[in-house]
Amino acid sequence: MNWKIITAIAKTDWKEVRQNSSAWVPMLIIPLIFVVIFPLAMILVPTQVPGAADQMFNDPDMAGFFQRLPPQMAQAVVGLNPIQSGLVMLLGYMFAPFFLIIPLMFTTVIASESFAGEYERKTIESLLYTPATDTELFLGKILAAVLPAIAITLGSFALYCLVVNGAAYPVMGRIWFPLASWFPLIFWISPAISLAAVSATVLISARVKTFMGTYQASASTVLLVLALLVGQVSGVLYLSVGVGMVVGAVIWIAGAALTYYAVRTFNRQKLLASAA
């Protein structure tokens, strides 16, 4: 494989996305909502609005939730008052699966632009006639989506740490975030889910000729995040360090298998025929 060709294909896709404001503007706004607005609301409302803390953290449902916590999570709230315990649970544990929406969103938007965007811009034939092999062409498209998604996720995580620790410091009295369970989430599960999502999206993009059609077809990948969220809230699955490593390993295997299948089934001749 020629990595110069692969990176050149990826750079071309990055340039196209930068020129499409309808693609990259939502990719900046939505992370800011998850990273800044939501955590600030969760911190400031119970601490600044009279009676809000009692409604949020002292109701029977919340008490029952704390009683069902596994030992490793219960240890995180030992000695904390109700507001502190609530913030640790909401921002430290319950909110964690939402963070996986960021790499999913970036990969699906950029990857949906891959072949489907080439169709819409009438550049698919010139792309397919390049000297790149099928594998190099496909991997270039994957690289174009995965690397920015990982970079934005890491940047969002760093900003989230600053917001959560800064805004909650008057309540917590210390720097308490990130919790250990976030490290496999950000550095293990997030890249894995990016690879799986982008492989699926590029595979769909090679068969669907419009950006919106590809994006809508690949949006079902968010169901994985919803499953993790429901597991956290219901108490069926807590993303502890061990669970996070196992979940990440499963997603890595699925993503690698999907990538292998996508590369093996990619057929340039069929794309040329459909573009004619």
What residues contact residue 29 under an 8 Å CB cut-off, 6+ apart?
none
CA distance 114 to 68: 45
pLDDT tens-digit map of 95-137: 888 888 888 877 777 777 666 666 666 666 666 667 778 788 8
Domain residue spans of the chain:
3-50+80-275
Determine the pLDDT at residue 134: 76
Question: Ramachandran region of residue 238, left (φ > 0), alpha (ψ -120 to 50) or beta?
Answer: beta
pLDDT tens-digit map of 229-246: 666 666 556 677 888 899
CA distance 1 to 273: 25
The answer to whether the predicted template modeling score (pTM) of the entire model surpasses 0.75 is: yes
CA distance 239 to 193: 15
CA distance 7 to 193: 21
- Encode 148-202 in three state secondary structure: HHHHHHHHHHHHHHHHHHHHHHHHHCCCCCCCCCHHHHHHHHHHHHHHHHHHHHH
Q: How far is CA 153 from the centre of its chain?
A: 7
What residues contact residue 254 under an 8 Å CB cut-off, 6+ apart?
196
The arithmetic mean of pLDDT across residues 77-91, rounded, is: 84
